[in-house]
Amino acid sequence: MGEFSKVFVLLTPTGQLSMEDVPTMVLCKPKLLPLKSVTLEKLEKMQIEAQETVKKQELALKEHYYQQIAPE
Amino acid sequence: MEVAMDPLFLAWSYFRRRKLQQCSDICTKILQDNPYDQAAWSLKTRALTEMVYIDEVEVDQEGIAEMMLDESFIAQVARPGTSLRLPGTSQGGGPSPAVRPMTQSGRPITGFVRPSTQSGRPGTMEQAIKTPRTASTARPVTSASGRFTRLGTASMLTNPDGPFINLSRLNLAKYSQKPNLSRTLFEYIFHHENDVKNVSVALYLQQKELVNITLQDFDCCNKNVLFHQALDLAAQATEHAQFRDWWWKVQLGKCYYRLGLYREAEKQFQSALNHQEVVDTYLYLAKVYQRLDQPVTALNLFKQGLDHFPGEVTLLTGIARIHEEMNNISSATEYYKDVLKQDNTHVEAIACIGSSHFYTDQPEIALRFYRRLLQMGVYNCQLYNNLGLCCFYAQQYDMTLSSFERALALVANDEEQADVWYNIGHVAVGIGELTLAYQCFKLALAFNNDHAEAYNNLAVLELRKGRIEQSKAYLQTAASLCPHMYEPHFNLSILCETIGDLQSSYTAAQKSEDAFPEHVDTQQLLKQLRQHFAVL
């Protein structure tokens, strides 16, 4: 108990209590992901399919080209 | 003996069962035997159209060309509450950026994303090039019509013999006389070939055709009428003929809209409405007004539509969407609730109400809405991610991580994966596991190098570790990626102030104030800095 009596009491029973407001860094907020509409999903699907078709055709074209020049 | 089914009947049956490729194949065979089979031709046209059909009401994507070369606005600075262009001009009810994050284009995020909400309306050319991404490509949309053309050409590529209908060789005048073929042909050209110009020609001929018909009728009746009187009457007959078919007017309006002739489109839709009240026409007309940046007119139109079709879900949704775009989330939520009264499985309404509850500090209620979506059979990455977040903030910790695990398992592309990791990082911050949080934000950046929020949060964590230079670099990256977010500017300002670089701190604080004028901490910081400068 003797130790505790040494503690200096900062709070006064009267008067105002003031606190220093230190600005802190802020985090960006959590992000709910928006659901996609049916149209958007279909558009995306069609776009991916279209890209794949184009890729396939380009590959086929390349193969065709190499086959042509291979015999030489 | 095997009895073969009539091939046309079979094709028709395939069409009804939406097996469109098979339907088209059978029609091709029939057409090889008999190239003049109109039924098979028409059916194949319809099948090919259905393959690439997208709801025209929903499709509203503004490309850079449309946004930057827009001449339809009246005032540079619109009055508050009358424009969709300035998200900050709403009067009350808007979410504060302190609680609700923004999309890449600087709008508060909503619960639902449609083709038109993707692009936003960036203010500068630089932002325009940077932000509006199409669904999956990293390239911005250059013009709205560009995308349609690309999809159309791709569908043609699959056909080794070239396109099914060679439009340049088609005698449109001949087809426009056949009402049973002209409509399917129109839809084919509009949706499959995306050739708006040809379609308009077809339409023009169609209308001319109607005029001709009436003229002929007229001639039969009044053979003795003088020529100039006939001419006068012909003008009236034109009007009469044009008022006859609302369907063609709506199509004409759609073409004008695609061509960017909004005023002409408006006229067509309005006269179609005069002829016959159809919900779709209201939606198209409202779309025109939204493109012309007249949300208030669009709202009035929707209300007018609701007088004719009380409780119509699409009209109510339209109103809610406009309120949402004008940043008036509370009234948008009211209208979404009306939508749910009519249709309690409306995904968009449920998702939007859910997200607005989440960002107004009611994650428990948001959780109920998202659970409802789960019960309805929505099963994707976004929903599980939202469930995970709601569970965490509603203190249902047992479900949080398993939801996120599912979300990660259902991820479709890298951007989604980045967002999910970003949110897991938040959970980690929430439970004080900063190492995990650090790793999560790093992962988010690994999947999406443009994730400004992850950069900002990483900077905060770096600063806690005492790495000032690293933190500053992250903050600067975040600020340049998303200049409309206030967080990186504010953090940079604090950081610079602590290391004594008052000038940089002041500039950053000013940017933060521009992004979020009501932010109290920014105001205090600015005041403090001004005092410093005054003392100097």
Domain ranges for chain B, please list them: 1-51, 362-434
- CB contacts of A23 in chain B (<8 Å) are 494, 521, 524-525
- Segment B183-198 mean pLDDT: 69
DSSP label at residue B114: -
- Say if residues B515 and B486 touch (Cβ distance below 8 Å): yes
- CB contacts of A58 in chain B (<8 Å) are none
Q: How far apart are CA B290 and CA B306, in angstroms?
A: 18
pLDDT level of residue B213 (50, 70, 90 thresholds): very low
- CB contacts of A38 in chain B (<8 Å) are 55
Cα B258 to Cα B194, B200, B287: the distances in Å are: 10, 11, 12
pLDDT at B319: 94
pLDDT at B134: 35
- Segment A5-32 mean pLDDT: 76
- Segment B41-66 mean pLDDT: 77
Q: Inter-chain contact A37–B112, Cβ cutoff 8 Å?
A: yes
Query: In chain B, what percentage of residues exceed pLDDT 70?
Result: 69
- Residue to test with chain B: of A20, A22, A25, most B Cβ within 10 A: A25
Q: Inter-chain contact B58–A33, Cβ cutoff 8 Å?
A: no
Residue B203 predicted with pLDDT over 70: no
Residue B433 predicted with pLDDT over 90: yes
Indicate the SS3 state at residue B108: strand
Least confident of B114-128, B342-356, B412-426, B494-508: B114-128
Cα B350 to Cα B316, B337, B354, B522: the distances in Å are: 14, 8, 6, 35
**Residue of B136, B348, B351 lying closest to A47 (CB–CB):** B136
Instruction: Give me the total of CB pairs closer than 8 Å, taking one residue from chain A and one from chain B.
Output: 134
- CB contacts of A36 in chain B (<8 Å) are 112-113, 380, 382
Q: Does A23 touch chain B (CB under 8 A)?
A: yes
pLDDT at B199: 53
Q: Inter-chain contact B112–A53, Cβ cutoff 8 Å?
A: no
Q: How far A9 CA lies from chain B's nearest CA (Å)?
A: 31
- Segment B15-43 mean pLDDT: 90
Of residues B54 and B223, more confidently modeled: B54
Q: Inter-chain contact A44–B135, Cβ cutoff 8 Å?
A: yes
Cα–Cα nearest to B423, from B388, B451, B372: B388
Dihedral sign (CA B146, B152, B158, B159) = negative
Q: Does A7 touch chain B (CB under 8 A)?
A: no
pLDDT at B59: 67
The residue of chain B nearest to residue A37, with distances taken between CA atoms, is B114
Beta carbons within 10 angstroms of residue B160's beta carbon: 6
**Residue of B135, B154, B426 lying closest to A30 (CB–CB):** B426
Chain B 357-376, residues with CB within 8 Å of chain A CB atoms: 358-359, 373
pLDDT level of residue B184 (50, 70, 90 thresholds): confident
B366: its two tokens? 């948001």
- Say if residues B296 and B322 touch (Cβ distance below 8 Å): no
> Based on C-alpha coordinates, what's the Rg of chain A?
36
Most confident residue range from A21-30, B212-221, B322-331, B420-429: B420-429
pLDDT level of residue B223 (50, 70, 90 thresholds): very low
- CB contacts of B379 in chain A (<8 Å) are none
Q: How far apart are CA B141 and CA B133, in angstroms?
A: 7
pLDDT level of residue B57 (50, 70, 90 thresholds): confident
pLDDT level of residue B95 (50, 70, 90 thresholds): low
Q: Inter-chain contact A51–B456, Cβ cutoff 8 Å?
A: no
pLDDT at A37: 83
DSSP label at residue A34: P
Identify the burial level of B279 via C-beta atoms within 10 angstroms of its C-beta, where 0-12 means exposed, 13-18 middle and 19 or more buried.
Answer: middle
Q: How far A63 CA lies from chain B's nearest CA (Å)?
A: 17
A2: its two tokens? 């003797």
- CB contacts of A31 in chain B (<8 Å) are 101, 109, 419, 422-423, 453
- Say if residues B80 and B89 touch (Cβ distance below 8 Å): yes
- Say if residues B265 and B257 touch (Cβ distance below 8 Å): yes
Q: Inter-chain contact A34–B351, Cβ cutoff 8 Å?
A: yes
Residue range B109-165, pLDDT digits in tens: 677 777 665 544 444 455 555 544 433 333 344 444 444 444 444 444 445 556 677
The mean pLDDT value of chain B amounts to: 78
Q: Does A52 touch chain B (CB under 8 A)?
A: no
Q: How many whole angstroms from its chain centre is CA B48?
A: 24
Q: Inter-chain contact A36–B382, Cβ cutoff 8 Å?
A: yes
Q: Does A50 touch chain B (CB under 8 A)?
A: yes
pLDDT level of residue B257 (50, 70, 90 thresholds): confident
Chain B 277-336, residues with CB within 8 Å of chain A CB atoms: none
pLDDT at B164: 73
Assigned fold of B362-434: 1.25.40
- CB contacts of A52 in chain B (<8 Å) are none
Residue range B324-345, pLDDT digits in tens: 888 888 899 999 999 999 999 9
Of residues B278 and B68, more confidently modeled: B278
- CB contacts of B525 in chain A (<8 Å) are 23
- CB contacts of A44 in chain B (<8 Å) are 135-136
* DSSP labels, B47-89: HHHHHT---TTT-----HHHHHT----S-SSPPTTS-SS-GGG
Q: Does B524 touch chain A (CB under 8 A)?
A: yes
pLDDT level of residue B38 (50, 70, 90 thresholds): confident
Residue B112 main-chain phi, psi, to 5 deg: -145, 140
Residue B65 predicted with pLDDT over 80: no
The residue of chain B nearest to residue A28, with distances taken between CA atoms, is B453
